[in-house]
Every structure is written in C-alpha cells, then in structure tokens.
C-alpha cells in the first residue's frame, strides 16, 4: 500500500507529542501506586485528534500525549496513571488515536512510535466515566494472532474463513473505535476490522475477533447465508483476509480506518471504499461494498464516518480521500438511503472527520472547519468556513495558529448553553459557547508564566504554526499583560532586519513573528536576537519593559 495512505494526523501527533519537553521524559515508580498522582491539571499536548462527549457534561480529548478531559466548564485534566483491576498500574504517555463511549463505558486507543515505525499500544477500557482508582479498568494489548503459520482459520457466524495472521504491533494502530450495547469495534491498517462483545471488555485476555470484509473486487460478502460456505469444510471458498497490497496477494479493502455502528448496522471505511454490514444471528455479517470504481464516492481512502439523524432521515457522511485510482478526488461523500445512491460535496478538500448534530453537519479539514445545514435530503449542500479562532479577554489574546482542524463536535447537552461547539486542532482545543458569536475560548498547553521567551525555538517558518501559508513564532511575556509591544529583530551581526509595533486592540491575535524582514522576505537560516519592548497596560507608570530573546531560524 502506498505510504500516503497512512493518515497524516497520527504521524503528526507522534512527532509533535513526543518532541515536546514540557513534561519529564523519565519517571520513577514507587513501590505503591498510591504514592504518585493519577492525573495532572491541563493539557500535555496541543495536538487534539479526538473530542468525545459523555454523560451530562464530560468532554474527552484524545491528544498527542495522553487522554484528557474537561471536568467542568473550565478545568482540564490529563491522566498520568491508570489503575487496572488486577492491581497493576500503567504510566500513560501515548498518543490517543481513538475514543468511544456508550453509557458509562469508555474506550480509548493508544499509539506510539520508534525508529522502526508507528505501532498500536492497545485499547484501554473503563466502565465508569470518571476513571478513579477504584473503578474497573482494563488494558487490552493491541490485537494480534499468536501464530507463525501462513494461514489461520477463524469463525464467523456458523462457518469459517481463512486469514493471514497479524503478528506485529507495527502498522497496527487502532485508527477508530465504536461501541454499542452489543459490541465494541476497532479498525486498523494491519489488523483490519475487529470486534469484541461488550460483556468481555472487562477481561484483558478476551479475544478481539477479526471480521471478514469483502475483497477489493467483491460487491457483496454474505456470511449469514449458508450457501456462502462450502459443503465439506464449511469455509468461504477462495476467500482470504489479507491486508497486504494486491500485488502481494492482499486487499486494500481489508485495511480498516473508520467505523460507525448502531442497532444491527456497522459501516466500515477502508483503503478501498465503504462497507455496510447488517448483523445477523450467531455473529454473522452481510456486507455490501461501495467504492469509487462502482459507486459515486469521491475517493476510496475513507478516513472518517459520521451519522446524521434529523426529522426521521438518516444520512451517512464519509470523509473520502483519493487513493491510487485515476480520477479519485478528495472530498465528502454521503448517502441518504443507506448506500443505494451516493452524492459528493466539498470536492478538493482534505477532510479528516465528519460529525452531525440535528440539522448541522461539520467537516474538519486541512483548511479549517466547515459547516452546512441540512433540513431536507434533497436540499443543496452549501458549506461555510469558520473564521480563525481567537480568544480575547482582559489580560491577553490567544489564538489557534493553524488552518488544520482534526475534529469538531456540537454539544447540545443542557449543561452547556446555546449548543456549544468543541474544535480539536494541532494547536489546541477551541470552544464556542454561542454559535451565533465569534467569541472563542482556547485551551492549550500551559507555559511558564514567570518567564519571557519565544516558542517553538528553533523555529521553522514553513512548518511551525502555519496559517494561510505563513508560519509564526510566539512570544510569551510571562505575567505582563501586553497592551502594545515593539518588536525589533537583529541578525547575528546585530543588523536590524525587522522593526514593528504590536497593538492587541488592532492586531487581534497573539504577540508573534512570521520570520520575515521589513521588506516581507523570509530571513535566512541562523541565529537572531529579538528585542521586545512591552507596554503593560495594567501598570502604565512602568513604561516600556525591555526583554531580549535569542531565536534560531531553520527553514
């Protein structure tokens, strides 16, 4: 399979999450788990890939460094340690690739990486939303087969199928999770689609069973039909579950990336389209396979699925990205009749996730957050792009310095008024309490409020905090609320390359620099000295306060 089919989001989270030095890289574990804390205040990573709601008010966040949650309307906590039901405990520093909840159940998947590649670190489960130490908590290792044979026979319904045993955690990351009253479902590239009965989640040794999906050229795979299996061995003849590339005997449709389940239906997005499964007795599933080649979806790489139920109408939304067939395009594909026909929209846009609440549909993309309102299935789909997310209060300006949005959820619970919108980005989480206003609250990793410094440092204008093609380096002024500031930048020879004023009432956003000189050109690589002359509007009698910062520019 081509390398570009691996979702960029998790590659980003690994490099971003593990490169930060805001928390210790080593831990000392005491003899008793009660001697160290279970959680820490605030975020440990600004990379927010998942936002999931649970109960009356809880907001869960999957980040580049652990799972975080909003305890009330203001306070974020991140778990340092998870206590397991057998008395063991785990330090949690993984990137979180997926979260799912159902009632008081919560599951989240971890991912990490080393010099050999990216790998899944398993699925964490609790049957209580607060995850306190006396609740049932279980860690399932990333599912693999304990077999060195070239083929393994597995059961499905009243029959069997053959598969390639998956024996490695590498390229075996749980990209998506879903849980219903019957099953928990996971998808991964190497591991494909797997499930476990919810009653077995409390056992670490329970098996996540692989589920056969149609091969690339199959339109249907009916495992509930007895005639699908041969008469002698009761095996699906000629079928082989194999996530390798087709030229190695595999199928792109066996590489799973997204899953959506409700009632007796499960939808699965793969590297070769969309699959709708209807569950039957004894665990069998009847599949219909939709692809670019045979149906009107924009692309075969399906990275996100969303369900909209409004006025008795069910719509399935999919983030469909071009894979390796001529004519495929990035965009959104959707069906209002359970897959009988498909339509496309937002063509050309790289979309990561789709979510819907009532009539509102949100598409999280590399160019921002899109919204449309669907009142009737025949309505034209017209999208609007949200403005940049900026928080302004009495003491500071804060902003999301990226166009990329990974996830968004509209929260219509009564705890939060006016249908609150939660948005996850590579640069933190944003909250819009009133969708009719542009007043955002922004949650990011805390910085040292006693120091004046620049970050990230070294700074790459082409890769750090890029908004509309320009990258930015931030300046933290410690406990000095900035009203105005003069920014002067000198090269290593102490020649001035930039001089400009910042005014928080005019500039709107944060105190920052785009790496350009007075003529609008990017400065060369090297060491620069930034002189900040800051006017603290709370203490006007102090005048301008002078600060020097050394910055390294690396393009």
Specify whether the CB–CB gap between 372 and 359 falls below 8 A.
Answer: no
Assigned token pair, 327: 């004519």
**Does residue 502 belong to any structural domain of this protein?**
yes
pLDDT of residue 371: 96
pLDDT score, position 438? 81
Position 382 in a domain = no
Q: What is the CATH number of the domain that holds 468?
A: 2.60.40
Number of domains in the chain: 1
Beta strand pairing call for 482-490 and 473-477: unpaired
Task: Supply the range of the domain harboring residue 522.
Answer: 452-553
Q: Is there a domain that residue 136 lies in?
A: no
SS3 content of the chain, % helix, strand, coil (to 5): 5, 45, 45
Q: Can you give the pLDDT at residue 194?
A: 98
pLDDT in tens, the chain (555 residues): 333 344 455 544 444 443 332 222 222 333 344 444 578 899 999 999 999 999 888 899 999 999 999 877 778 989 887 766 565 667 678 899 999 999 989 999 999 999 999 999 999 998 865 565 556 678 899 999 999 899 999 999 999 999 999 999 999 999 999 999 999 999 999 999 999 999 999 888 899 999 999 999 999 999 999 999 998 899 999 999 999 999 999 999 999 999 999 999 999 999 999 999 999 989 999 999 999 999 999 999 999 999 999 999 999 999 999 998 899 999 999 999 999 999 999 999 999 999 999 999 999 999 999 999 988 888 889 999 999 899 987 777 889 999 999 999 999 998 887 889 999 999 999 999 887 778 899 999 987 667 889 999 999 999 999 999 999 999 988 767 788 899 999 999 999 999 999 988 888 789 999 999 999 999 999 999 999 998 877 777 777 788 999 999 998
Q: Is residue 549 part of a domain?
A: yes
Measured between alpha carbons, how far is 227 from 218 in angstroms, rounded to an integer?
Answer: 16
Q: Which residues contact 135 (CB under 8 A, 6 or more apart)?
A: 126, 127, 128
Q: Looking at residue 218, what is its pLDDT?
A: 97
CA distance 303 to 310: 23
DSSP letter at 164 equals P
pTM exceeds 0.85 for this model: yes
Q: How far is CA 282 from the centre of its chain?
A: 33
Q: What pLDDT is recorded for position 109?
A: 96
Residues in the chain: 555
Look at residue 87 in the predicted model and tell me its pLDDT.
59
Tell me whether residue 237 is in a domain.
Answer: no
In-domain check, residue 265 = no
* Residues 338, 340: Cα–Cα separation, whole Å: 6
pLDDT for residue 6: 43
**Structure confidence at residue 86 (pLDDT):** 60
| 232, part of any domain | no
**For residue 21, which of 38, 44, 43 has the smallest C-alpha distance?**
44
Tell me, what's the pLDDT at 170? 93
The Cα–Cα gap between 276 and 296 comes to 15
> Which residues contact residue 463 at a Cβ distance below 8 angstroms, ignoring those fewer than 6 apart?
471
Nearest to 141 by CA among 127, 159, 157, 125: 125
Q: Pairing between strand 159-163 and 235-241?
A: parallel
* Residue 505 covered by a domain: yes
Residue 27 CB coordination number (10 Å)? 12
Q: How many Å separate Cα 313 from the centre of its chain?
A: 27
The separation between CA 166 and the C-alpha centre of its own chain, rounded to angstroms, equals: 24
């Amino acid at each position: 399979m081509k390398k570009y089919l691996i979702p960029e989001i998790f590659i980003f989270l690994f490099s971003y999450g593990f490169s930060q030095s805001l928390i210790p890289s080593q831990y000392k574990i005491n003899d008793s788990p009660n001697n160290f804390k279970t959680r820490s205040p605030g975020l440990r990573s600004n990379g927010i890939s998942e936002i999931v709601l649970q109960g009356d008010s809880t907001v869960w966040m999957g980040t580049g460094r652990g799972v975080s949650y909003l305890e009330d309307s203001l306070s974020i906590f991140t778990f340092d340690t998870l206590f397991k039901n057998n008395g063991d405990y785990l330090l949690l520093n993984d990137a979180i690739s997926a979260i799912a909840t159902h009632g008081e159940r919560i599951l989240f998947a971890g991912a990490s990486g080393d010099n050999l590649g990216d790998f899944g670190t398993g699925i964490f489960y609790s049957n209580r939303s607060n995850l306190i130490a006396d609740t049932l908590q279980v860690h399932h290792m990333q599912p693999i087969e304990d077999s060195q044979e070239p083929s393994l026979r597995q059961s499905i319904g009243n029959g069997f199928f053959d598969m390639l045993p998956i024996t490695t955690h590498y390229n075996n990351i749980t990209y998506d999770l879903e849980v219903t009253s019957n099953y928990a479902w996971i998808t991964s590239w190497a591991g494909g689609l797997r499930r476990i009965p919810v009653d077995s989640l409390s056992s670490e040794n329970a098996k996540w069973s692989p589920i056969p999906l149609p091969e690339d050229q199959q339109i249907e795979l009916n495992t509930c039909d007895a005639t699908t299996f041969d008469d002698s061995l009761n095996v699906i003849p000629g079928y082989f579950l194999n996530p390798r590339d087709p030229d190695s005997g595999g199928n792109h449709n066996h590489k799973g990336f997204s899953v959506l389940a409700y009632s007796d239906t499960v939808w699965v997005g793969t590297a070769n389209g969309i699959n709708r499964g209807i569950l039957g007795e004894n665990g069998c599933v009847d599949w219909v396979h939709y692809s670019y080649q045979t149906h009107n979806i924009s692309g075969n790489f399906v990275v996100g699925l969303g369900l909209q139920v409004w006025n008795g109408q069910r719509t399935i939304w999919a983030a469909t990205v071009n894979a390796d067939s001529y004519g495929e395009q990035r965009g959104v594909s959707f069906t209002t009749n359970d897959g009988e026909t498909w339509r496309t929209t937002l063509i050309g846009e790289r979309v990561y996730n789709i979510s819907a609440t009532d009539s509102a549909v949100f598409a999280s993309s590399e160019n921002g957050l899109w919204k449309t309102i669907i009142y009737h299935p025949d309505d034209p789909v017209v999208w609007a792009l949200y403005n940049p997310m900026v928080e302004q209060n009495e003491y500071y300006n804060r902003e999301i310095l990226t166009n990329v949005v990974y996830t968004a959820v509209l929260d219509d619970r009564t705890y939060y008024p006016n249908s609150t919108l939660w948005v996850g980005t590579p640069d933190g989480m944003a909250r819009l309490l009133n969708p009719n206003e542009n007043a955002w609250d922004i949650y990011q990793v805390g910085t040292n409020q006693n120091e004046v410094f620049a970050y990230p440092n070294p700074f790459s204008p082409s890769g750090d905090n890029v908004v509309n093609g320009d990258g930015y380096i931030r300046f933290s002024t410690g406990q000095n609320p900035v009203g105005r500031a003069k920014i002067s930048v000198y090269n290593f020879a102490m020649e001035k390359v930039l001089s400009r004023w910042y005014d928080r009432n005019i500039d709107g956003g944060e105190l920052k620099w785009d790496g350009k000189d007075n003529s609008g050109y990017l400065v060369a690589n090297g060491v620069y000295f930034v002189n900040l002359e800051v006017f603290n509007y709370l203490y006007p009698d102090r005048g301008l306060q002078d600060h020097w910062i050394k910055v390294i520019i690396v393009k």
